[in-house]
């Protein structure tokens, strides 16, 4: 016949059913095993010194049962915690989504109510003032036309226009890059051309200035002999008339430093 478990074994098994950490559960399992071994009838009549010790069947069964009960209790507890955490996250997500959806729905309902209120006010105004019915309907139609035009403007470019715009943007970018390169080359060539022309003109101007000075020296040298012969240099060389202002300026510039000295 099955004997009832001692009070200490029953209390230890009941404690193992509670969710406890693994280390404490192993310690309680060992306590239950020791209690079962001490309460076993075989321990009351210890075997003789010549007989070998044999494990107690009730002790092993009790320990195994208590350990399985503890593991199942711990697994159910962890599963319950995970389920509670998942349900809490789901509730929080739903709580965050619900206010947004409710606000959007309420805003749409409010807009619909405002439109309905405006329609009723127009109908009431037409009822109270039948002579203004045409005017109100005309203004309403014009407002609708403006709203429709605004909606068309808000749509922007069509798909084909957007594709065409993308192609044109790429071509424009390529041409702008080429134009920048060409502008750089043009600036460099113009600068080089101006430098070349400036140097040549400077040389020519210096050559002309030297020629004018030589002409002035020649006129000053032979002026007395020509006057004695009754000859006029300007009549002989009409080109001198156009050069005389420059010759006079050169003569003044040469005589002024001498006067200062």
- The three state secondary structure string of 145-165 is HHHHHHHHHHHCCCHHHHHHH
The number of beta carbons lying within 10 Å of the beta carbon of residue 250 is 17
Distance CA 71, CA 26 (A): 11
Confidence of residue 199 (pLDDT cuts 50, 70, 90): confident
Token pair recorded at residue 54: 């044999």
Can you give the residue ranges of every domain in the chain? Answer: 7-39+59-104, 112-159, 160-260
Residue 81, pLDDT score: 62
Mean pLDDT of 197-221: 86
Mean pLDDT of 188-213: 85
Distance CA 142, CA 19 (A): 76
Q: Which of 9-18, 168-177, 180-189 has the weakest average pLDDT?
A: 9-18
**Residue pLDDT, tens place only, 19-64:** 555 555 555 556 555 655 554 444 444 444 443 444 444 455 555 5
Token pair recorded at residue 56: 């107690």
Mean pLDDT value across the chain: 75
66 versus 182: the higher-pLDDT residue is 182
Cβ–Cβ < 8 Å for 216, 209: no
For the cut 50, the answer to whether the pLDDT of residue 89 exceeds it is: yes
Distance CA 206, CA 83 (A): 103
């Amino acid at each position: 016949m099955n004997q009832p478990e001692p009070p200490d074994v029953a209390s230890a098994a009941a404690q193992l059913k509670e969710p406890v950490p693994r280390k404490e559960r192993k310690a309680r399992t060992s306590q239950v095993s020791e209690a079962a071994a001490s309460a076993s009838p075989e321990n009351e009549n210890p075997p003789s010194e010549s007989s070998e010790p044999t494990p107690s069947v009730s002790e092993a069964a009790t320990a195994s049962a208590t350990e399985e009960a503890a593991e199942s209790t711990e697994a159910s507890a962890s599963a319950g915690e995970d389920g509670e955490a998942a349900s809490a996250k789901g509730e929080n997500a739903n709580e965050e989504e619900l206010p947004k959806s409710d606000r959007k729905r309420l805003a749409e309902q409010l807009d619909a109510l405002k439109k309905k209120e405006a329609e009723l006010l127009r109908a009431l105004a037409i009822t109270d003032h039948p002579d203004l019915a045409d005017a109100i309907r005309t203004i309403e139609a014009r407002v609708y036309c403006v709203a429709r035009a605004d909606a068309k403007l808000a749509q922007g470019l069509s798909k084909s226009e957007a594709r065409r715009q993308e192609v044109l943007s790429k071509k424009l970018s390529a041409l702008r890059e080429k134009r920048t390169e060409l502008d750089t080359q043009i600036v460099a060539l113009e600068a080089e051309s101006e430098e070349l022309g400036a140097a040549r003109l400077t040389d020519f101007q210096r050559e002309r200035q030297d020629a004018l000075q030589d002409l002035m020296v020649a006129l000053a040298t032979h002026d007395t002999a020509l006057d004695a012969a009754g000859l006029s240099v300007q009549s002989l060389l009409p080109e001198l008339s156009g050069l005389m202002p420059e010759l006079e300026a050169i003569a003044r510039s040469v005589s002024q430093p001498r006067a200062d000295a």
